[in-house]
Amino acid sequence: MDFQNDLILRAAKGEPIERYPVWLMRQAGRILPEYKAVRGALSGFKELVETPERAAEVTIQPVDILGVDAAIIFSDILVVPEAMGLEYQMIEKKGPWFEKTIRSEEQLKYANVDFDVEDKLSYVTEAIRIANKELNGRVPLIGFAGAPWTIFCYMTEGQGSKTFSEARKILYTNPTLAHELLNRITNVTIKYLKAQIKAGVHIVQIFDSWAGILGDAQYAEFGLKYLDKIAKEITEVPVTLFAKGASNSNVKLADMNCQTIGIDWNTDIAETRKIVGENVTLQGNLDPCALYSSHKEIEGLTNEMLNSFESKRHIVNLGHGVYPDVNPEKVKTFIETVKNYEIKYK
Ligand code: CP3
């Protein structure tokens, strides 16, 4: 594939770059009025996810409107548990909700692995094909999946939670069940990421959004082990691993078969670089709330972050997804500041 702009791929691989690439987690959807218009013409979030032409359209909006250096396919991490047998609803202002949950061996029947992943999630691969056709090489397309631990949280808890105590309870009361479910999620996720790659994504990110609710030892056993399994299998494109809230584990992520690790905003980039060494790209990490400050302050905070980089191996992003009520003009200031920054490490 010939790209007009392949900065993110070069940065991921540690190749020379003329400036740092920038994109935002959750850039597709949420903040743009143009997204809300497309979504408003349909019955809701799920119809948008499952309609490849529309999903491709909102995938490209941030490239056209915000000028980011990569597109991320519009979908959700929850399509995997649904494909396995746990249907979800996306409830307005509340978030995801599953009617059934998995808390016993008997309920493992809602976590199937014996199905054709590519066929069942063909609405995602179709959206990838359409998005790439419309992008026509302007920027690379990012594929993604939830990490097994984060998917486990939703499959056992059945909804969002501040503590995910139902999910964590199982780690103590039935670790065998936990490992069985995590293994199943891992196997489906590997097939799913490979299907996305076959359909045309150029880099993949694995979101472990709830990594931070486990202690280090439990995260090693129930989280990292499965991330490692996935990373080992994905050899076709660069891999980004993001374990939000688990910065103690970043050194272990850096040793896995990945090119990039995501850094949340609580974690110091310069410190992380000292710990993980030079052979990995760091992605992040402006506080998403910084985008509520003035244009001038955003410029200052972004430059401060960029000045803390001591390597070319950076992809600029927020430390987590962009919040829904952020003004897109503020996002543009963030992006423009990164684009105007003169890189010291070529
Ligand atoms: O990055 C992108 O823009 C691509 C699309 C994307 C969505 N979800 C679309 C979405 C991605 C990468 C995700 C990942 C995702 N989904 C994660 C991991 C990343 C993270 O933020 O930690 C998680 C935990 C989910 C699960 C999920 N989906 C929740 C908890 C919610 C409700 C609250 C929220 O974040 O909005 C969703 C809904 C969702 N997924 C929306 C979008 C655009 C909002 C739905 C709408 O009202 O249009």
The model's pTM is: 0.97
250-278: pLDDT as tens digits: 999 999 999 999 999 999 999 999 999 99
Atom number in ligand 1 closest to CA 160: 30
Residues with Cβ within 8 Å of residue 104, at least 6 apart in sequence: 177
Percent of the chain's residues with pLDDT above 70: 100
Q: Give pLDDT tens digits for 30-61.
A: 899 999 999 999 999 999 999 999 999 999 99
304 alpha carbon – ligand 1 mean position (Å)? 28
Which residues is 71 bridged to in the sheet? 141
The set of residues, in sequence order, having a beta carbon less than 8 Å from that of 154 and lying 6+ positions away, is 78, 81, 88, 96, 98, 146, 160
pLDDT at 157: 98
Let me know: does 286 contact 319? Beta carbons within 8 Å. Answer: yes
pLDDT at 29: 85
CA-closest residue to ligand 1 atom 35: 95
Could you tell me if 100 and 171 are in contact, meaning their C-beta atoms sit under 8 angstroms apart? no
Q: What pLDDT score does 327 carry?
A: 97
Q: Is the distance from CB of 309 to CB of 281 less than 8 angstroms?
A: no
pLDDT for residue 1: 77
Among protein residues, the one whose CA lies closest to atom 43 of ligand 1? 29
Spell out the domains of the chain, with CATH numbers in brackets: 7-340 (3.20.20.210)
Pocket of ligand 1 (CB under 6 A): 25-30, 39, 45, 72, 74-78, 90, 95-96, 144, 160, 207, 209, 321
Give pLDDT, residue 91: 94
Cβ pair 139, 218 in contact under 8 A: no
Could you give the residue numbers annotated as active site? 26, 30, 39, 76, 154
Tell me what pLDDT residue 199 has: 98
pLDDT for position 93? 87
User: Which residue's CA is the nearest one to ligand 1's atom 10?
Assistant: 76
Mean pLDDT score, 1-19: 96
Q: Which atom of ligand 1 is nearest to the CA of 73?
A: 4
Instruction: Give distance in angstroms: CA of 159 to centre of ligand 1.
Output: 13
Point out the ligand 1 atom lying closest to the alpha carbon of residue 144.
12
What beta strand segments (E) does the chain contain? 71-72, 88-91, 95-98, 141-146, 203-208, 239-243, 260-262, 281-286, 314-318
DSSP 153-172: HHHHHSB--SS-HHHHHHHH
Q: How far apart are CA 239 and CA 253, in angstroms?
A: 11
Q: pLDDT grade, residue 346 (50/70/90)?
A: confident
